[in-house]
Structure 1
Amino acid sequence: MTGKSKRNWLRAKGSPGSSRVTFLELFFDLVFVFSISQLSHALAAHYTPLGAAEAGLMTFAVWWVWIFTAWATNWLDPDKMPVRIMLVVLMLLGLVLSASIPEAFADKGLLFAGAYVLMQVGRSLFTTYAFKDRSASNWRNFLRISTWFIVSGVFWIVGGFLEHEARLIAWVIALAIEYAGPASSFAVPGLGKSNATEWDVSGAHMAERCALFVIICLGEAVLVSGRTFSEMPFSKLTAVVFFTGFIGTVAMWWLYFRFGHERAAHRIEHEETPGSLARQAFTYAHIPILAGIIVHAVAVEFMFSHPHETGNLGVMASVLGGSGLFLAGNLWFKGATSGRLPLSHLAGLVLLILLAFVALFIELYLAGILATLVLIFVAAWEYRSLTGPAVGETVH
């Protein structure tokens, strides 16, 4: 028997159920519930320009390791035992990564970097081996991806030995290398560039995987509201803040899932070059969506703890910035998958910018209410435009 006939760890593309999300993939995502919780708490606890930069870098890292695993399992079959073992090992490393987040820029920097590099390089090399004798184009593609992660991994590990700002700089360089990879088609001397036409991804699988990750992030926002509300003495004000945080999270859920998610899956399934569209719509456009939800969760914490505060530009930025980032991400995501920018989202961003001019003169909880009303306004406009007789929802 040939090696090709002995080893086949790939999904049977085109067969019934081949694009379904497996229970093991959902189990894998549980680790990232912990990651998102750690990120929001780290940002709230160290809410300074430097703390925000550190939390932002770790958010980019957590998203990158998750989305590349989602890309890999778009091809790999989690029902095959070697793939299952690989995902379980990634879960263990992901747990170490998540546990290291609060001290990633202190005593656990090397632990964070080591877990991250092992996840990225190990998964990529595994996928490269899985494609050997199965798909020459994808084998070369993951060989290129592995090369990029090995190069960036040097900066991650070196940064783990450095301290303070030096560590931050080294890790920023590492992330810059990794984020430039897809945009440059993973160009490697001697191996050339990847061709997006060869990325035969399942749009339905990618859309569902990213939707589940968004659910995880929204779940963290709900947990923050519930946990903080339960720990505080009851009052009319805490009830208002609790209700505001909850409705804001529901509005985010509606904006993402009512029209964006299913339309994206359908568009990619019928796209001539699905890989290229998936790279823009999922790999990159979901970053501000994720960041917006995390910042929103932090803003809810601040509204509970300092509801009457005024004049604090940084804290106010979390209230308006969470909604703004989320709308900007959805604007990008929906624009990429529909070919048009939703006018409702553009209007929402304009309203948030106008609110910024008066936000310093109003109390924090009132700013939270206004930001939530903007999200509701955008959701209502989009719903009316796409389901009713009104026109003008999108612009070229």
Structure 2
Amino acid sequence: MTSPGGRPDVLRGPEDARVTTIELFFDVVYVLAVTQLTELLLHRLHPAGVADAAVLLLAVWWAWVDTAWITNWFDPDQPRVRVLLIGLMGISLVMSSALPEAYGDRGLWFAVAYVALSVGRSLFVASALARRSNLHRNFQRLLVWRTVSAPLWLAGGFASGPLRLGLWVAAVAIDSAAAACGFYVPGWGRSRPAEWAINGAHLAERARLFVIIALGESILVTGTVFGALRHDWATLAALASAFLGSVALWWIYFDHSAEAARQAIAVAEEPGRLGRSGYTYLHIPMVAGVIVTAVGDDRTLHHPTGESDPAVIGSVLGGPVLFLAGFLLFKSAILGVRSRTHLTAVIVLVALGPLGLVLNPLALSALSTAVVATAAARSTLLVARTVRHPG
């Protein structure tokens, strides 16, 4: 990693890959954000509601991941950076608390908080970097992009109904396209990933911790719902299926691939390119998959032996499909590996969709968990076989 240029008292050392306690403290707010998103989607299991939740998930993700990139360059233990993170944490708390009513009375609160995060963070970084450094120009470009989307977020906060959603879709599309477009600004050109001097191991660890946040929230929701229900064999079986499903998702991500990917990006010639593709974009479907899976677990726990309506089928099967699809793309981008095991699991889960019309939620959840667990076990066995027989 080369120096990004800036005031040396606030920059990380080039080999400093540790995740500091203030970064972990900052992430606590996003436990609330993921919980709120799960709750919002749970009560909006229809196409328009899914679109509502998707927009807010992307906003939450950009609020978090942009901060993760900043702490990759700036030392969070330095007073000015620590104060910045605490300020961003407070604003994130306001944003997260507004999520359940973001399409109701708290829309403006959400929009103002999100804009304050995105614009304020970029202003701080642009002022802290040496003016002739590549990253200074890069954050000037990012500031332009965030400033362009800001009026759409704020206008959506004042609007209501479909107009709010339309304005926010346009705003989050701009924010999501920024990095893919190299933050292109007429007259300033675009930024190249080769100029993004990051510590790949640090960014990988930050992303892994966010996956843990999402999985932890899923278990928290499952345990809370189970505790409030009458305990019988059906709810106990649904709890077991939900728990084992979360374990299987954890196993798939953390058993081997997460560490292998961390090592790959740590030694990559252009870690910025891998950081953009694998950790900035391709973690989104995995996090979304965990949230959708948690919604499916909630619905299954409430009515394990009832009928499986489209919302139940979509969440019970769709959550793992999203996670596995994102994981497939992530492995391909970082490790250059195309996993037939996980692709087969995606195909099987999609094929189970019509069967859900004749199965109750518990049976469908059990089948989904079995498919994901089988993929996790087979992947582990293949890795162990490769280690024993590398030729």
Question: Which TM bucket (shorter chain)?
Answer: over 0.9
Contact 2:229 2:302 in 1 (8 A): no
Matches within 5 A, 1:301-340: 301-340=298-337
- Which of 9, 16, 20 matches 2:18? 20
How far apart, CA to CA, are the structure 2 residues paired with 1:118 and 1:259? 38
2:160 is aligned to 163
Contact 1:298 1:318 in 2 (8 A): yes
Q: Aligned pair in 2 of structure 1 residues 42, 262: CA closer, same or farther (>3 Å)? A: same
Q: Could you tell me which runs of 5 or more consecutive residues in structure 1 were left unpaired when the two chains were aligned.
A: 392-396
Structure 1 position 5, deviation (Å): 9.2
Q: Aligned pair in 2 of structure 1 residues 5, 158: CA closer, same or farther (>3 Å)? A: closer
Matches within 5 A, 1:54-93: 54-93=52-91
Matches within 5 A, 1:64-213: 64-133=62-131, 136-213=133-210
- Which of 225, 235, 238 matches 1:241? 238
Q: Aligned pair in 2 of structure 1 residues 243, 6: CA closer, same or farther (>3 Å)? A: closer
Contact 1:384 1:390 in 2 (8 A): no
Matches within 5 A, 1:364-383: 364-383=361-380
Structure 1 position 7, deviation (Å): 6.1
Structure 1 position 195, deviation (Å): 1.4
How far apart, CA to CA, are the structure 2 residues paired with 1:229 and 1:67? 32
How far apart, CA to CA, are the structure 2 residues paired with 1:236 and 1:7? 61
- What letter matches 1:8 in structure 2? D
Q: Answer with 333-342 or 249-258: which moved more.
A: 333-342
- Which of 4, 11, 32 matches 2:30? 32
Structure 1 position 311, deviation (Å): 4.7
Structure 1 position 150, deviation (Å): 0.6
1:229 is aligned to 226
- What letter matches 1:315 in structure 2? V
Contact 1:292 1:326 in 2 (8 A): yes
Contact 1:33 1:220 in 2 (8 A): yes
Structure 1 position 308, deviation (Å): 2.1
How far apart, CA to CA, are the structure 1 residues paired with 2:263 and 2:363? 39
1:394 is aligned to none
Contact 2:6 2:129 in 1 (8 A): no
Secondary structure class of the residue paired with 2:255? helix
How far apart, CA to CA, are the structure 2 residues paired with 1:264 and 1:237? 39
Matched, 1:385 2:382: yes
2:263 is aligned to 266
Contact 2:300 2:312 in 1 (8 A): no
Q: Aligned pair in 2 of structure 1 residues 360, 5: CA closer, same or farther (>3 Å)? A: closer
1:346 is aligned to 343
Contact 1:260 1:333 in 2 (8 A): no
Contact 2:7 2:129 in 1 (8 A): no
- What letter matches 2:359 in structure 1? I
How far apart, CA to CA, are the structure 1 residues paired with 2:333 and 2:20? 27
Structure 1 position 120, deviation (Å): 0.6
How far apart, CA to CA, are the structure 1 residues paired with 2:264 and 2:387? 23
Structure 1 position 340, deviation (Å): 2.0
How far apart, CA to CA, are the structure 2 residues paired with 1:87 and 1:294? 26
Structure 1 position 338, deviation (Å): 1.0
Q: Answer with 308-317 or 151-160: which moved more.
A: 308-317
Q: Aligned pair in 2 of structure 1 residues 216, 6: CA closer, same or farther (>3 Å)? A: closer
Secondary structure class of the residue paired with 2:353? helix
Contact 2:29 2:93 in 1 (8 A): yes
Contact 1:10 1:130 in 2 (8 A): no
Matched residues, percent identical? 42
Structure 1 position 241, deviation (Å): 0.5
User: CA offsets per residue over residues 28-85 of structure 1, 9 Å max, x none?
Assistant: 0000000000000111122222221111111111011101110111001101111011
How far apart, CA to CA, are the structure 2 residues paired with 1:281 and 1:315? 30
- What letter matches 2:285 in structure 1? P
User: CA offsets per residue over residues 279-334 of structure 1, 9 Å max, x none?
Assistant: 00001100000000000111111001121233511221100001100101111111
Contact 2:218 2:290 in 1 (8 A): yes
1:277 is aligned to 274
Q: Give the paired residue count.
A: 384
